[in-house]
Structure 1
Amino acid sequence: MQIVETTNEGLKRAYTLTITAKDIETQIDAEVKKVAPQVRMPGFRPGKVPANLVRKMHGEALHADVLNKALRDSVDGLIRDKKLRPALQPKVEMIDGYEQGKDAQLTVEVEILPDIEAPSVDGLKLEKLNVPVSAAQLDEALGKIAEGQKSYKDAAKSKKAADGDQLIIDFVGRVDGVEFEGGKAEGAPLVIGSGAFIPGFEEQLTGVKTGDAKTITVTFPENYPAEHLAGKEAEFDVTVQQVKVPTETKVDEDFAKQLGFDGLDKLKELVKGQLEQESAGLTRTQMKRQLLDTLAADHDFAVPPSMVEAEFDQIWNQLTQEAAREEDPAAAMKEIEAEKDDYKRIAERRVRLGLLLSEIGQANGVEITAAEMQMLIQQAAQQYRPEDRQRFVDYVRSEPMAQAQLRAPLYEDKVVDFLFDKAEVTERDVTREELEAAIEAEEAAPADVKKKTAAKKAPAKKAAAKDEEPAAKKAPAKKAAPKKAAAKADDGEAKPAAKKKAPAKKPAAKK
């Protein structure tokens, strides 16, 4: 194989590879000898078909297989010989004009990972903000549980329904005078003020009494899931079977036992544990952002543009999807468009931090075990229909890139935990409000966006841009690299063969 380097600029490399016709013919001869014993032909004993007849019968198919393998082996050999670390999958193309019996030429374009000196993990200092669970917080949480277990009793027939009261109603809905599917029910419970029914429905039932009949008119929202009803005006004939009022629910021993606990102390113990777990999650988020800001401030190196572009595309796709769900999609889209450059900087920050975490992990022996990888695959398989799960498992096991994508979040968490253990951590008790404010302050001004002339807080709903989630992919020393990386070229001949696809995920349940 002949290799000619055509581009060497920054992290970009390009090569022209030539596979000689002689090498291709040699490999075809070897393949003929390999398959000849398995070929059956009338007039010949099994395994005795002459090689020239085998070549005549199967030459085209053998040539295609050999050429595909030669392309893959050539790209693998290039990466190995040049000691390249691809950032993403190399782009491989056959040069036009290839004919059987002649040399094959292909171009390989690849962006490589930067050489990063593993940063020192000594001297890190972090502050851990703890939120002790107060008696008031515990009482509030127990009160919410009691609220969710609220019961109702029949009110006097003269009682007019008000917010918080429960109605037991029969109703029939019609659009243009015609009943529609799902628009009829008997004995349906409805709490006024709950927002359970379409806007305007509950409000028009305020003041009704037991036994009342009333016709109300409402308009279905434009974004109503049932398209045939979206934006349509409808009339509902409603009969009130009963008006009920809420009864007081006391948080006591009997209440705890109704929920299946041995007593109130056991219920409090569980609720307190849940509150502590929620706070621990927020504490970790705040510590992680401190850590990432520290790493980002101390390291600045070139990152592969293709990785940044891929990361930005993910951020932008999520943002545009969220904007489309807002009340005013056009205004929401205009807002994120105005901050597009900021999100590009965040994408670059994510990629840089991902590479940095990967380098730290490799330098310090952080690994994902086979058992952990198996668990990740099985968990991911649950997103698919039962009949597709094994096919998904087989796909992941055969695709290094799919494995890297599954492995990445857990690997990042393990590296972060490793750095937490190495850091000098001081602790401080704060309220939950103070902890949430600290997190919001970090979100509003990530390290790479703090230099903006006008510091703007990212809208709360723009979750895609949260900077605590770097594009961390474990980059093995020689081949697979961060963020959808793989050292192998496409399984290609003159026209690349189709790659295996993961099965389609099971659809989300309809609401």
Structure 2
Amino acid sequence: MQFVVEKGEGLLRRIKIEVPSTALTPKIEERIKKIAKTARINGFRPGKAPDKIVRSRYMAQIRDEIYDQFMRDTATAAMAKAELNPAALIVFDIHTNLDSNPDTLSYTVTFEILPTISEAALDSYTIYRPTAEITEEDVDSIIETLYHDLADWQYARRPAQVGDKVFFTINNSGATEPNKFPPEFYVIIGDSATNISQRGHELIGAKEGDTKTLEFLPHPSPDPQAPAPAPQEISITVTKILFTMSQKDANFAKKLGVSSGSLTELRVQVRRRMQFDLNDKISANIKSQVINILLKAHDFQLPKAMVEEEKRLIRSEQIQRNHIPDTSVNDALIESQAANNVKLHLIFRDIIKRNAIKLDKKRLQARIEHDASSYDDPDKFIAHCHDPKFKDELENAVFEEQIIDWIVSQTQVQTIPSTFHQIMKYR
């Protein structure tokens, strides 16, 4: 085999290859003999047709199949010998007329190579790790929210009282940015999680149709060092008032999966779930920072074919998920997302290879046991982990955590004390 490598634009490469086609003769003859044993040709019993007729019927098909595989094999060998790592889009251009020049097979293979990624110095970047302790007040707030979600609300034919759910619309005259509010808003008077000052007590005594001015408290930044957002006066019109007779009792606890109806057990379960959610939120926050750092710290060309394939996948997913026509897809947004996805894939691939990172089986088992502890039937969850598809997803998630942890270990890490609600952005 003889070959010459040509460098194209960017990551594009071409290899011109010439091989003696006589090397294929044994493969072709072997395939002919195999087909001849079972070939069904009119006028002959299966496997009894003359060799000449079998060849005339199947030779072109066999030769194309053998040549196609042979070209792929020789192209792969040439790439390996030239130390080229193909990324995607292998196109074969055959120069030889196999009928007029059967002795030599000449063809060109065109492809893109994977980019060379330089190891980035990550120690100049800082990861901000938020931390928080879940307080009893935090648990109270979540239980209150669950209570409001499950309560049986009814129309109140009276002025608003503590515990009522008061709906209202925002009038343009009071809010500085009224378009940021939903068409209809509500608060529960006395609820500690409300964004209205004094827990909405200014609404006590309000009736449908009343107009009032309230002080709205925007969500605080998840960064405790950021200045507190300024309160905003809003003019509102009450649209309806609801009340509930539901109680935080054993029936309430049972609705939330506590079979004993114990409110104490409910608090234990709610706190456990909150801790899971808090840990997940912190992990997601750190992962987002890591992604931004990796994209900023690396600069290299991307294989166009990989980006195009990623765009196709994103487009298809958006159309199916959102049930929208192809013309409604934002191509500019997809272009950026696809490029970032491919870039991250290549960076992660390089980090894994460069640092020989492998799946930690002990960490995987610990993750399974940890996740199982949040279920009423842990053994059932553990059994589900043997499902091949779910097992692959879990292994990929744990492996990704390992890579993220390794990247974080290469940066500066600053701990930022915060609160549960600031991190979760519930308030």
Structure 2 CA distance for partners of 1:23 and 1:295, relative to 1, 3 Å: same
Deviation of residue 115 (structure 1)? 1.9
**Structure 2 spans left out of the alignment, 5+ residues:** 167-184, 187-207, 209-241, 365-384
Structure 2 matches for 1:80-91, cutoff 5 A?
80-91=80-91
Quick check: 1:111 aligned with 2:112? yes
Quote the Cα distance in structure 1 between the aligned partners of 2:305 and 2:394: 20
Residues 95 and 135 (structure 1), Cα distance of their counterparts in 2 relative to 1, 3 Å cut: farther
Give the alignment of 1:165-314 within 5 angstroms.
247-253=244-250, 255-257=252-254, 259-262=257-260, 263-312=262-311
> Do the aligned partners of residues 12 and 54 (structure 1) sit closer, same or farther apart at CA in structure 2, a change above 3 Å counting?
same
Shift of 1:124: 6.6
Code of the residue aligned with 1:354 in structure 2: it is H
Contact 2:122 2:410 in 1 (8 A): yes
Q: 1:312 to 1:99 in 2, by over 3 A?
A: same
Code of the aligned partner of 1:149 = L
CA separation of 1:311 and 1:410: change in aligned 2, threshold 3 A: farther
Equivalent-residue separation in structure 1 for 2:165 and 2:252 (angstroms): 21
Q: 1:129·1:435 contact (CA, 8 Å) conserved in 2?
A: yes
Q: Which residue does the alignment assign to 2:356?
A: 365
Counterpart in 2 of 1:214?
A: none
Aligned to 1:213: none
**In 2, Cα distance between equivalents of 1:305 and 1:88:** 9
In 1, distance between residues paired with 2:278 and 2:100?
A: 67
Classify 1:16/1:425 alpha carbon distance in 2 versus 1 (closer, same or farther; 3 Å): same
Offset of residue 35 of structure 1: 5.5
In the alignment, is the contact (CA less than 8 A) between 2:128 and 2:416 conserved in 1? yes
Residues 320 and 29 (structure 1), Cα distance of their counterparts in 2 relative to 1, 3 Å cut: closer
Could you tell me whether the CA contact under 8 Å between 2:122 and 2:297 is conserved in 1? no
Query: 1:66 maps to what in 2?
Result: 66
Aligned equivalent of 1:79: 79
Q: TM-score, length-normalised on structure 2? A: 0.58
* Counterparts in 2 of 1:427 and 1:376: CA distance versus 1, 3 Å: farther
3-state SS, counterpart of residue 250 of structure 1? coil
**Structure 1 counterpart of 2:283, one-letter code:** R
2:369 aligned partner: none
Q: Once the 2 structures are TM-superposed, how far is the Cα of residue 101 of structure 1 from its aligned partner?
A: 6.2
Q: Work out the CA distance in 1 between the residues paired with 2:35 and 2:295.
A: 56
Instruction: Say if 2:89 and 2:305, in contact at 8 Å, map to a contact too.
Output: no
Count of paired positions: 326
Q: Assess if the C-alpha contact under 8 Å between 2:39 and 2:46 holds in 1.
A: yes
Secondary structure in structure 1 of the residue aligned to 2:116: coil
Q: Secondary structure at the match of 2:86?
A: coil
Cross-structure match for 1:355: 346
Identity %: 21
Asked whether the equivalents of residues 278 and 424 of structure 2 are also in contact (C-alpha less than 8 Å), the reply is: no
Q: 1:260 to 1:413 in 2, by over 3 A?
A: closer
Deviation at 1:87, TM superposition (A): 1.6
RMSD of aligned Cα (Å): 5.1
1:17 aligns with 2:17: yes
Task: Name the structure 1 match of 2:31.
Answer: 31
**Cα distance, 1:248 vs. partner?**
2.2
- Larger RCO: 1 or 2 (CA < 8 Å, sep 6+): 1
Q: Identify the residue that residue 389 of structure 2 maps to in structure 1.
A: 378
- The aligned counterpart of 1:169 is none
Structure 1 counterpart SS, 2:111: strand
Residue matched to 2:133: 132
CA 1:73–1:343: 2 relative to 1, 3 Å:
closer
- What 5-or-longer segments of structure 1 have no aligned partner? 166-192, 195-206, 208-244, 381-402, 438-511
Q: Distance in 2 between matches of 1:406 and 1:266?
A: 29
User: Counterparts of 1:310 and 1:61 in 2: how far apart (Å)?
Assistant: 30
Identify if the C-alpha distance between structure 1 residues 36 and 101 changes in structure 2 by more than 3 Å, giving closer, same or farther. farther
Q: 1:27 to 1:252 in 2, by over 3 A?
A: same
- Structure 2 letter corresponding to 1:418: W
Residue 274 (structure 1) shift: 1.9
Quick one: distance in 1 between partners of 2:28 and 2:297?
Answer: 54
**Aligned partners of 2:46, 2:28: CA distance in 1, in Å?**
21
Distance in 2 (CA, whole Å) between partners of 1:63 and 1:314 is 35
Aligned residue identity for 1:351: V
In structure 2, distance between residues paired with 1:375 and 1:125: 38
Q: How far is 1:12 from its partner?
A: 0.9
CA distance in 2, matches of 1:140, 1:80: 62
